[in-house]
């Protein structure tokens, strides 16, 4: 272990800290993390951990969600400018106005959202459990799904549920992946199966053999016999895929790189632990309301 790693381990012991990293983080960040996963995995890890300090290597909404789940813990975001453009595509005021138009609808909010938007919601979901969460709502009830229109459209199609209002937000990284790019990879690698993230457009998803969250992609890659896999999501996932499946070959969409997910560096993690800086602070009322929506999701999951 290098000097950064040694110092980080020393500080983790001193602070009773745990480092969590999303699968889209840089490889070196994933390697120093105690746990790597997708939004649901990380949320559950925060809930079960005895650590007093959580260093969240991801983007702001993820660190906020950790704070909502465990408000008594100190949650640090090593790079405070690491945001999620999708989360900024809807405000609490906009959701409040939408609720007034459809007062009898249940609000299902993707975790890729601000704490303030979660506070206006009935229940949250992740890409891995969105179908399960919406299916738990009685069919006669309308659903407002925010902010990702692609994930919402996927859920709507899977459940054949017409009474869903979809907000027109998206992840630009996934939404900008084109059908032609997937077809080009398929034509080059005819034996490969296709894994796609449900934040992609329906045109892209139509060519997928498996539509999966990031953690589910890793599990499925381990399980299947096929040795070649086309990965249609952010490239950070290639690191854990190669670690878990060294005998398999993965092909990625080269442009699928999230700049916000790449902002966190090892020296920023060290600095955050040393100085205990970039602490996530949320209004108590926001925590109370938003936590209810997140905990309802966790109960079902």
Question: Is this model's pTM higher than 0.85 or not?
Answer: yes
- Binning pLDDT at 50, 70 and 90, where does residue 112 land? very high
Q: How far apart are CA 132 and CA 158, in angstroms?
A: 10
- Binning pLDDT at 50, 70 and 90, where does residue 121 land? very high
- Binning pLDDT at 50, 70 and 90, where does residue 99 land? very high
Question: Over 70: is that where the pLDDT of 1 sits?
Answer: no
Burial class (CB in 10 A: 0-12, 13-18, 19+), 2: exposed
**pLDDT for residue 41:** 85
The per-residue pLDDT for range 52-86, each reduced to its tens digit, is: 999 999 999 999 999 999 999 999 999 999 999 99
Which residue from 64, 1, 9 is spatially nearest to 270, judged by alpha carbons?
9
Percent of the chain with pLDDT over 70: 99
Which domains, ranges and CATH numbers included, belong to the chain?
Answer: 3-82+261-281 (3.40.50.10800), 87-170 (3.40.50.10800), 177-252 (3.40.50.10800)
Percent of the chain with pLDDT over 90: 94
**pLDDT for residue 47:** 85
The per-residue pLDDT for range 18-41, each reduced to its tens digit, is: 999 999 999 999 999 999 999 878
The per-residue pLDDT for range 134-190, each reduced to its tens digit, is: 999 999 999 999 999 999 999 999 999 999 999 999 999 999 999 999 999 999 999
């Amino acid at each position: 272990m290098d000097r950064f790693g040694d110092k980080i381990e020393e500080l983790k012991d001193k602070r009773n800290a745990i480092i969590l990293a999303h699968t889209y983080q840089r490889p070196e960040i994933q390697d120093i993390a105690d746990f790597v996963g997708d939004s649901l995995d990380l949320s559950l890890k925060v809930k079960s951990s005895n650590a007093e300090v959580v260093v969240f290597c991801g983007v702001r909404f993820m660190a906020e969600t950790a704070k909502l789940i465990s408000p008594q813990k100190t949650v640090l975001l090593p790079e405070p400018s690491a945001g999620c453009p999708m989360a900024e595509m809807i405000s609490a005021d906009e959701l409040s106005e939408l609720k007034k138009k459809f007062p009898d609808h249940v609000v299902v909010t993707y975790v890729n959202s601000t704490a303030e938007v979660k506070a206006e919601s009935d229940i949250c979901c992740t890409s891995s459990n969105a179908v399960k969460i919406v299916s738990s709502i009685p069919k006669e009830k309308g659903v407002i799904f925010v902010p990702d229109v692609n994930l919402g459209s996927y859920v709507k199609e899977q459940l054949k549920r017409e009474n869903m209002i979809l907000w027109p937000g998206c992840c630009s990284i996934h939404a900008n992946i084109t059908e032609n790019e997937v077809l080009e990879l398929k034509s080059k690698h005819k034996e490969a199966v296709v894994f796609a993230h449900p934040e992609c457009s329906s045109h892209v998803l139509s060519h997928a053999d498996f539509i999966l969250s990031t953690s589910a992609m890793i599990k499925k890659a381990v399980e299947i016999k096929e040795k070649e896999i086309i990965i249609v999501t952010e490239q950070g996932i290639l690191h854990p895929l190669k670690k878990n499946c060294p005998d398999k070959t993965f092909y990625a969409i080269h442009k699928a790189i999230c700049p916000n997910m790449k902002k966190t560096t090892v020296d920023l993690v060290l600095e955050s632990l040393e100085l205990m800086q970039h602490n996530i602070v949320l209004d108590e009322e926001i925590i109370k309301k938003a936590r209810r929506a997140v905990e309802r999701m966790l109960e079902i999951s």
